[in-house]
Homo-oligomer: A and B are copies of this chain.
Amino acid sequence: MKKIVSCILTAVLFSLFYPQKGWCQETIDLPPYRKSPVINNDSTITFSLIAPHASEVKLLGVSSSPILLSKSSEIPGEWYTTLKLRPNLYTYNFEVDGVRTLDPSNSYIARDISSLFNILIVPGANADYYESRDVSHGAVSKVWYHSTSFENDRRLTVYTPPQYEQEPDKKFPVLYLLHGMGGDEDAWNELGRASIIFDNLISEGKMEPMIVVMPNGNARMKAAPGLTGEGMYVPDAQYSVSPRGVFENAFPEIIEFIDEQYRTIPDKTKRAIAGLSMGGGHAWRISMMYPDLFDYVGLFSATVRWNGTNVDSDNNVLDASLQRQFETPPSLYWIGIGKDDFLYDLNQSFLSTMNRLNLPYLYHESDGGHSWSNWRDYLLIFTTELFKPTIQ
């Protein structure tokens, strides 16, 4: 991980070419040039921070408990820690004398709800798919559609594969990819690294070129914070708790918009839906409610609770809905859950229902819990199975 050049350095270089007084676009003094984190030759990682007056510096996020940094004996004011991390994408912060801070040497960040975290990718295994490569890149668009159900405009993230531009007459299948509670239309692309994963999988021929649509699944939210007339706020916690079934009921209007605006193949056999956690619950219910719309269903750590507004909580209704959906079984019905996920038991009970009804599915059980680490893995597995000859 090469690191940081500040405005200061740029200004120095600028002045060589254009001998005027140095300048910065914003007049803020920047901290001294540091590298953090550094992946060392022996694959250990060193995190460091200059904090001369601190009495305690912690690293948060890379392990289950905070890691105390040590004072350097070589560099005045430096705190550091060196550790071994398995290949993955990590989100982390420092805490300096109780104040949470981003690593000032690392400008790569992701937002989770209203908190910001630095990103570190430790290469190897699946994490190699999380870093951008020199391959053809798809386009990522932030698009607004008008919802007649919600009576407002709502924001979507749309990925179009490189082939979308390269082959202007071709039509493409569509995956609808739904975020979890607390997330929004940016989540899959920021924390999930979705478009980078797609670029890499498509370039290797492992994933069919497809359009991927990532809506905002919060019924009480139109768009990520700061992008609506409510101003630059983080709304109260309720925004995320959708009135049950509202988002699900309104889902076909998203499909209608996408089929109108993009070169899609508007057919069940070329349409998939998947989601994580709350979004997994959405995908589960939407695919049941509209059995003619989706031929591929992915449930990632899904809240498979039957509580839509337009049905009873009666199990017979669930049975009937599933049986209706499986009259023509989906080409893929994929269920992934981590052994330590707090939704593990819930998912097992759903598997029992599937077994009792003798409905076909693919089950993927992983280590770990309710985490982006698992969801990125599931995305890698699931997307490579889409829109290919029936596998069941």
Chain A residues proximal to chain B, CB less than 8 Å:
1-7, 9-10, 12-14, 17-18, 20-21, 23, 25-31, 49-56, 60-61, 64, 66, 77, 91-93, 96-102, 104, 107-109, 111-117, 119, 121, 131-144, 152-153, 155, 162, 165, 180-183, 191, 225-238, 240-241, 261, 277, 303, 305, 342-343, 370-372
Contact = CB atoms under 8 A, between A and B. Distances in A.
A116 B111 contact: no
Give 3 nearest A-B pairs by CB, closest first: A134-B229, A2-B233, A53-B97
Contacts of A140: 141-142
Contacts of A54: 97, 99
A144 B136 contact: yes
Contact of A115 (B6, B99, B277): B6
A241 B14 contact: yes
A5 B229 contact: no
B226 A108 contact: yes
A61 B155 contact: no
Contact of A50 (B6, B99, B226, B238): B99
A136 B143 CA distance: 11
Given A112-B25, A141-B141, A9 B237 contact: yes
A235 B7 contact: no
Given A6-B114, A9-B236, A132-B231, 5 more contacts: A25-B277, A51-B97, A51-B98, A52-B98, A53-B56
Contacts of A61: 26-28
A152 B137 CA distance: 11
A13 to B, nearest CB: 4
A115 B30 contact: yes
Q: Which of A135, A181, A240 has the most CB of B within 10 A?
A: A181
A134 B222 CA distance: 10
A220 B267 CA distance: 44
B98 A101 contact: no
Nearest to A261: B165
Contacts of A99: 31, 49-51, 54, 96, 101, 104
25 contacts: A1-B231, A2-B233, A2-B234, A4-B234, A5-B236, A9-B236, A13-B241, A18-B303, A20-B342, A25-B180, A28-B61, A29-B60, A30-B115, A31-B100, A51-B98, A96-B97, A99-B101, A101-B102, A107-B111, A107-B115, A108-B225, A109-B116, A132-B229, A139-B144, A141-B141
Contact of A96 (B96, B121, B233): B96
Nearest to A29: B60
A8 B276 CA distance: 19
A232 B232 CA distance: 28
Q: Which of A20, A114, A371 has the most CB of B within 10 A?
A: A114
Nearest to A121: B232
A241 B108 CA distance: 23
A113 B6 contact: yes
A185 to B, nearest CB: 12
B182 A25 contact: yes
A5 B235 contact: yes
Contact of A233 (B3, B49, B50): B3
